Structure 1
Amino acid sequence: MRFDQKGPSVTGTSFSRRRLLAGVTAAAASLALTGCVGRRDGDYAQVSGQVPERFARRERVVLWSAFTSHNATVLQSIIDGFNASQQDIFCEIQLFPGYPALDSKLAASFAVAQVPDLVTLSDVNWNRYFLAETLEPLSGYFDAGFGPDAFHPRFLAEGTIRDQVYWLPWARSTPLFYYNKEIFAGAGLPDRGPKTFTELREWGHELKGFTYRGAPVRMRGYTGKDDWYFQGSSWAFDGSYSDGMVSRLSSEQTVAALEFDRAFIHDDQMAYLADDINADFAAGVTATICNSTGALTSLLKAATFEFGTAFLPEQDAPGVPTGGSGLAVMRNSTKARKQATWEVIRYLAEKGAPEWSLNTGYLPVTASSLNSPKIKERNAATPAYQVAQDQLSRARQADVMRRYVNETISEMLIVLQKVYASNADPGETLREATRNLDPAIQRVLPKYRRLVAS
């Protein structure tokens, strides 16, 4: 089986983290749930690819990346730096147009016993590869010169299970509250983000009837392509998706979070379901959006007005989910390839991370990037970047059910579409989702208890 993606040349449709959340492949879900993958070290061949003649004598490491367009170019530049920095290892990037495509190919690679060495896995799909026992435990690779303190402790902990690291932070993010300063000033609103969702709704009432650049404007544009934002909103209303593997989707608090959105959209008519929240915000159609910190750099280029960023609104509690992706090593790679892969990881953490954060907008997740003078200068010049870093003190990783039960995300996207687009009753839709998800929870639960829960 040959995988032909190579170099930073993938073009065409722009894929994103939202596309992942719209439908992670059934093949990957099956992989994690059946546990039918072989688990011997070094018993799988390396996927094929192309090695330039000048690197032919080096140990080859294959990195599978879901980054496209600009981010793919940035990563390739960093890896080019690694290949030029030493003479023993060649790292080849094979690109995929987004996480679903990578996920599908990775599941297929196990079927033919050919695997890459290093993979960018999202915050909601690496756990399933862990359940399939296909990820290399990494804690034993650290040494005195390169230890766990090379990574942000908050993010490193998210890739740690039972004191063993399986997933290292790389392209990590949280949502931010973005607001159009011109609209806020024109409507007499404060130059800041709302402290609570109640205040956001009150500001929506004050904005009613306001026009911007000759067109009516609404307070918030919602996306129905990603439930990541609602995961945070559920926490803000003291709800959640689950308590461990016990669903809380139909709890009074989670229902209240979704009822807020329904009323804001359908009763107040000051929010709406957008096709593209970035485009609408940049065009001045909506005064505010909640979007990833990873969107900050592109929004700064696209917007023709000054905008501000702020922490996400609270209600009864903070509601800030972490997201993005990290790096995982395939357990079935050979010992020599895994050791060479670790050298790539070390370079990425110590040398490449500042360039990555500076040029993509993702959060600094390593000591090298957190201490980078260039990143500190950028944050001082554009405080929005510092807001994203400061908000980390409120952040937490997704609920267990969202991370380990693949169907949770697709089911919640159905819920959001029904409520946002069709004014469905939040309580009824969430109770239906709870019933629909119970078989999937029961299927995952035994393996989750064996490998994760104490």
Structure 2
Amino acid sequence: MSDINSISRRRLLTMAALGAGTLGLAACSGPSAVSGSDKGSSKAAEKVDYSGVKPASEITFWTNNPGGSGDVTKKICDDFKAKEGISVKIVPAGSSYEEVAQKFQTALTGKDTPDVVIGSDVWWFRYYMQDAIAPLDDLLKAAKVDVSAYRKGLIDDYRYKDSLYALPFSRSTPLFYYNKNHFKAAGLPDRAPKTWDEWKTWAKKLQDAKTGAQHAYQFPSVTDYAGWTLQNMLWGYGGGWSKKDSFEITCDSDKSIEALTVVRDAVLKDKWAGVSSNESTDDMAAGACSATIGSTGSLVGVQKAVGDKFEVGVGFLPGGPAAKQPVCPTGGAGVAICSRSSKEKQLAAAKFIGFLTNAQNTVDFSAATGYMPVCNDADTSALLKENPLIGQAIKQLDVTRPQDYARVFLPGGDQEIAKAVASVIQQGAELKPAMTKLHSTLENIYNTQVKPHL
């Protein structure tokens, strides 16, 4: 793949647009959806005139209520109706971003589509390739939503060919969560470990301290987000799922194997780590482990679940022998508007997503969940006074790194990574052959579904 070993993310999105119809979802876990190849997806977004359009009085919003955000989202919707006279019907369309995406894909084969849909870091661009979401520039202007108010590093994730396709909503980074009581019992410092090598020595002390936890550490469920949560470890050891800003697959490189050996041995050999069957942060809140990695969006839920049982600590993700920073990926989701909705519903939807993510509501959403405020002028002083731990998530945003292409730009790449990791640490498969097979799978996805359109 030496011909495109260095492609900017913006250029990639532009070129991938040329193959929107066939660069679809064939390799993904969800059902296939309609192609956008005959609908002009390869062209720059055409200007749409919304002058004289009256916003609809009711719209639908499909979401998984990330981070237990159902209550705060409902309040925002109620406030929006009071302000604009527009009702928002919240439809819980799944328990995860993937389930929402699969339901959306299925809906695209019929007529029952939402007006607003949540789209995660690995799904929103697939929505675009299906011609399923509308360009937002003209819509947001008509709705008087100022896009310059958003953090540039977050809103730019949803741009290609100088057009915008979503607004940042439930944005996050992984955090290192730990039980301060357990750390104290083991004689450990009240902080996150600086490196994974340091953590290995701490894990033994935690195991020896007889804290009552089953494991010192719990890996998040590999069937969900192994590609995201293990990204940090691979980077720390100098590896990755693919090279930086490149489709050159490196999941079976020596450095990647070194990092994944630590993961495998932690579970199968040294046994200081387990693997969550659901949410690892829930396991920590229940006292089943002393530490884990989880989304910032889990923070408030963890604190509520823990209550006064113990004090929760959070910190930056550990580094490794090759890199200590930046080894933290961003993640989470944005909100997009369905291209099939009428102009009236699209305009109402634009007003809604602007309101949903404005400076005040993004702070309220963050306070209720732990997700990061997405606006530049969001006043976080009261938020941080109420919950100082959220400040760690905001600070870590300054030392993040874009995710590997193999996870976010290869259709189905995330799921293939998860399956390969699960085969090793849950089913006992040999590491090197499993990663060599993953390399072949990811490269085949690239060669058949991406390369022909670049």
Q: TM-score range by the shorter chain?
A: 0.7 to 0.9
Aligned-residue CA RMSD (Å): 2.8
Give the structure 2 partner of residue 221 of structure 1: 218
- Look up the SS of the partner of 2:357 in the other structure: helix
Contact kept, 8 Å, 1:180 with 1:288, in 2: the verdict is yes
Which residue, out of 388, 399, 406, partners 1:383? 388
Give the structure 1 partner of residue 88 of structure 2: 91
- Look up the SS of the partner of 2:127 in the other structure: helix
Q: How does 1:26-425 map to 2 (within 5 A)?
A: 26-27=30-31, 30-31=32-33, 34-35=35-36, 38=39, 58-67=56-65, 70-87=68-85, 89-98=86-95, 99-143=97-141, 146-212=145-211, 215=212, 217-223=214-220, 224-225=222-223, 226-227=225-226, 228-243=228-243, 244-276=246-278, 277-303=280-306, 304-315=309-320, 316-317=322-323, 318-350=326-358, 351-367=360-376, 370-371=378-379, 375-425=380-430
Unaligned runs of 5+ in 2: 1-26, 47-54
The C-alpha deviation readout for 1:148-171, integer Å capped at 9, x for no partner, is 222111111111223321121001
How many angstroms apart in 2 are the aligned matches of 1:85 and 1:230?
43
Change in CA separation of 1:36 and 1:163 when aligned onto 2, cut-off 3 Å? closer
How many angstroms apart in 1 are the aligned matches of 2:122 and 2:186?
39
How many angstroms apart in 2 are the aligned matches of 1:294 and 1:100?
17
Contact kept, 8 Å, 2:67 with 2:297, in 1: the verdict is no
How many angstroms apart in 1 are the aligned matches of 2:446 and 2:104?
23
Change in CA separation of 1:407 and 1:329 when aligned onto 2, cut-off 3 Å? same
- Look up the SS of the partner of 2:219 in the other structure: strand
- Look up the SS of the partner of 1:242 in the other structure: coil
CA shift for structure 1 position 221: 0.9
Q: How does 1:14-29 map to 2 (within 5 A)?
A: 25-27=29-31
Contact kept, 8 Å, 1:272 with 1:420, in 2: the verdict is no
How many angstroms apart in 2 are the aligned matches of 1:385 and 1:159?
24
The C-alpha deviation readout for 1:194-250, integer Å capped at 9, x for no partner, is 1111111121233342211xx365321112232120122222222222243332212
The code of the aligned residue for 1:106 comes to F
Q: TM-score, normalised by structure 1?
A: 0.81
CA shift for structure 1 position 437: 2.8
Change in CA separation of 1:448 and 1:202 when aligned onto 2, cut-off 3 Å? farther
Unaligned runs of 5+ in 1: 1-22, 43-56, 450-454
Runs of at least 4 residues of structure 1 off by over 6 A? none
Change in CA separation of 1:139 and 1:446 when aligned onto 2, cut-off 3 Å? farther
How many angstroms apart in 1 are the aligned matches of 2:176 and 2:149?
29
How many angstroms apart in 2 are the aligned matches of 1:80 and 1:271?
44
Bigger CA drift: 330-339 or 305-314?
330-339
CA shift for structure 1 position 388: 0.8
Bigger CA drift: 146-155 or 415-424?
415-424
The code of the aligned residue for 2:30 comes to A
- Look up the SS of the partner of 1:146 in the other structure: coil
Contact kept, 8 Å, 2:62 with 2:114, in 1: the verdict is yes
Q: TM-score, normalised by structure 2?
A: 0.81
Contact kept, 8 Å, 1:127 with 1:403, in 2: the verdict is no
The code of the aligned residue for 1:359 comes to A
The C-alpha deviation readout for 1:77-122, integer Å capped at 9, x for no partner, is 21111111124x3333222122344323322332224532211111
Q: How does 1:2-17 map to 2 (within 5 A)?
A: none
- Look up the SS of the partner of 1:211 in the other structure: coil
The C-alpha deviation readout for 1:282-340, integer Å capped at 9, x for no partner, is 23232111111111111112221012110000112232121221111122333333222
How many angstroms apart in 1 are the aligned matches of 2:33 and 2:99?
15
Change in CA separation of 1:329 and 1:447 when aligned onto 2, cut-off 3 Å? farther
Identity over aligned pairs, percent: 27
Contact kept, 8 Å, 1:249 with 1:255, in 2: the verdict is yes
Give the structure 2 partner of residue 431 of structure 1: 436
How many angstroms apart in 1 are the aligned matches of 2:183 and 2:373?
30
Change in CA separation of 1:306 and 1:259 when aligned onto 2, cut-off 3 Å? same
The count of aligned residue pairs is 404
The code of the aligned residue for 2:219 comes to Y
Contact kept, 8 Å, 1:380 with 1:386, in 2: the verdict is no
CA shift for structure 1 position 386: 0.5
